[in-house]
């Protein structure tokens, strides 16, 4: 009797082939997708490379090494002066600038005025401090070029600085006052060119205050970085006498000299005042006073408001209706947090902040959009934080680039293909 041979090898072969095909069908698109999303070494290098300094080299074939570039630190300006300290990038960040570099034989530092009328160059025998004097006032660019003994050279990044002119009188205004203290705001005093490059060194100015009233005199000095007329600084005078007239004198001093004085007079209140809501007609563009909304609130949540001065106690009012929202205090960053009514209907409102005086104490106001969705209080931040996608290195960067690799598909495809190969291998060993 003839026995038929079982068709096991054929069955195994069929299963193995089918499994391999299935694995390739599942895994190949995922592998291709991952390969397309994975940057090439060249692309990775391009995306992570650090901007290299401008390089100049001689034609000497032996001059194969270039000196490291420098960066300028402690840049300062004075009366006709620009100074700073040079440091080699290879010393600052050796991981980013590993070299090898040629030894620095000398350094040429050059300052050039924006109008091109003034150019000065000084040669140093080593990397370190530099200084220029006798410069006319105005905007200057500063560059440093390191030079090797072979003559090869490297020019570093450019810095900008403003050699100051004599200061001008400041603008002074009374921000708010009570019976016992006053806050003034000061701006201006420096003459600066327009359209300054980012990071330009402009030097410092001092505001010198002398306050006289009754039989008392106060003096105070505040130092700030010189800026345009738009920036304001706030200064507080405490322990004043009620119902007393005070005379404030403000001068501006910089490295060149002192300005003519600016005068301001005010009279303190006779005693504490009860909070009074401003009339809606007072909420005009002129009375906004640069208040800004830092977080869009929800009913029952917190409205975060940036105010011009800190710290003082204030009152908050909701419009329309001049609804009192209670007393609030600003923190050291000049922010106040106002709790909104829990039953406030979503919509557009205005929120006013008042202090003790003057003009019914109106410090300023903001437009207040209230969101419909209920939620938690906004996270306190000094400035609005833009939404951004975090940068992730390694395999996770595929998802961050907008191409998500189906990892599950890769695993399943790989397992299926491996199973198929294992079956074929088993078949070969048993043959």
- Domain definitions of the chain by residue range: 8-38+407-430, 58-163, 171-267, 280-370
pTM of this structure: 0.59
Lowest-confidence range among 46-50, 103-107, 119-123, 270-274? 46-50
Looking at the domain covering 58-163, what would its CATH class be?
mainly beta
Q: How many whole angstroms separate alpha carbon 367 and alpha carbon 37?
A: 45
Class of domain 171-267 (CATH, top level): mainly beta
49: CB partners within 8 A, 6+ apart: none
| Euclidean distance between CA atoms 30 and 413, whole angstroms | 9
The two tokens of residue 201 are 């060194």
Residue 101: phi and psi, rounded to 5, are -125, 155
User: Does the pLDDT value for residue 359 go beyond 50?
Assistant: no
- Which range among 31-45, 158-172, 217-231, 293-307 shows the weakest confidence by mean pLDDT? 31-45
For domain 280-370, give the CATH superfamily: Immunoglobulins (2.60.40.10)
Confidence of residue 76 (pLDDT cuts 50, 70, 90): very high
Query: Could you tell me which residue, 64 or 21, shows the higher pLDDT?
Result: 64
Rounded CA separation 97/93 (Å): 6
pLDDT at 147 exceeding the cut of 90:
yes
Give yes or no on whether 58-163 and 280-370 have one common fold.
yes
- Radius of gyration from C-alpha coordinates of the chain: 35
Judged by DSSP in three states, 415 sits in helix
Could you list the beta-strand ranges (E) of 114-239. 119-124, 129-132, 138-148, 153-155, 159-163, 171-177, 182-187, 204-213, 216-225, 232-237
State mean pLDDT over 332-351: 87
Query: Alpha-carbon torsion 93, 95, 99, 102, what sign?
Result: positive
32 φ/ψ angles, rounded to the nearest 5 degrees: -65, -40
The neighbouring-strand residues paired with 247 are: 212, 265
Q: Which two tokens mark 63?
A: 């001059």
Tokens of 87: 């440091």
Mean pLDDT of 157-166: 96
| pLDDT at residue number 82 | 97
- For 33, 294, 305, the CA distances from 382, given in Å and listed in that order, are 42, 7, 9
Instruction: Please tell me the distance from the alpha carbon of residue 407 to that of residue 327, in angstroms, as a whole number.
Output: 56
**DSSP character string of 18-66:** HHHHHHHHHHHHHHHHHHHHSPPHHHHHHHHPPPPPEEE--S-TT----
CB 359 within 8 A of CB 276: no
CB 280 within 8 Å of CB 157: no
Q: What one-character DSSP code corresponds to residue 280?
A: G
């Amino acid at each position: 009797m003839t026995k038929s041979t079982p068709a096991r090898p054929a069955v195994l072969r069929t299963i193995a082939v089918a499994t391999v095909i299935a694995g390739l069908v599942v895994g190949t698109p995922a592998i291709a997708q991952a390969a397309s999303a994975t940057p090439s070494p060249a692309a990775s290098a391009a995306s992570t490379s650090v901007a290299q300094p401008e390089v100049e080299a001689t034609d000497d074939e032996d001059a194969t090494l270039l000196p490291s570039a420098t960066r300028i630190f402690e840049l300062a300006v004075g009366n006709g002066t620009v100074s700073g300290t040079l440091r080699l990038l290879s010393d600052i960040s050796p991981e980013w600038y590993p070299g090898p570099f040629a030894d620095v034989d000398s350094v040429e530092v050059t300052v050039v005025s924006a109008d091109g009328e003034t150019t000065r160059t000084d040669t140093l025998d080593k990397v370190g401090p530099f200084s220029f004097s006798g410069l006319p006032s105005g905007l200057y660019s500063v560059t440093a070029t390191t030079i090797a003994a072979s003559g090869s050279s490297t020019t570093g990044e450019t810095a900008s600085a403003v050699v100051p002119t004599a200061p001008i009188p400041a603008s002074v205004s009374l921000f708010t006052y009570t019976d016992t203290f006053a806050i003034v705001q000061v701006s201006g005093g420096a003459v600066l060119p327009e359209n300054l490059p980012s990071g330009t060194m402009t030097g410092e100015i001092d505001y010198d205050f002398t306050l006289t009233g009754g039989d008392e005199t106060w003096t105070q000095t505040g130092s700030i970085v010189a800026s345009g007329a738009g920036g304001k600084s706030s200064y507080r005078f405490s322990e004043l006498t009620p119902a007393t007239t005070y005379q404030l004198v403000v001068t501006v001093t910089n490295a060149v000299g002192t300005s003519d004085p600016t005068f301001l007079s005010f009279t303190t209140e006779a005693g504490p005042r009860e909070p009074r809501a401003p009339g809606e007609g007072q909420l005009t563009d002129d009375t906004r006073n640069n208040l800004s909304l830092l977080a869009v609130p929800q009913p029952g949540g917190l409205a975060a408001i940036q105010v011009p001065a800190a710290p003082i106690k204030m009152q908050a009012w909701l419009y329309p209706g001049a609804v009192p929202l209670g007393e609030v205090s600003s923190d050291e960053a000049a922010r106040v947090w106002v709790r909104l009514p829990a039953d406030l209907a979503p919509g557009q409102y205005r929120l006013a902040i008042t202090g003790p005086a003057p003009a019914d104490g109106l410090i300023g106001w903001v437009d207040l959009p209230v969101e419909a969705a209920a939620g938690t209080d906004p996270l306190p931040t000094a400035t609005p934080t833009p939404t951004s996608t975090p940068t992730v290195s390694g395999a996770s960067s595929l998802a961050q680039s907008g191409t998500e690799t189906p990892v599950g598909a890769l695993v399943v495809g790989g397992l299926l293909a491996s199973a198929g190969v294992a079956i074929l291998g088993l078949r070969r060993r048993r043959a």
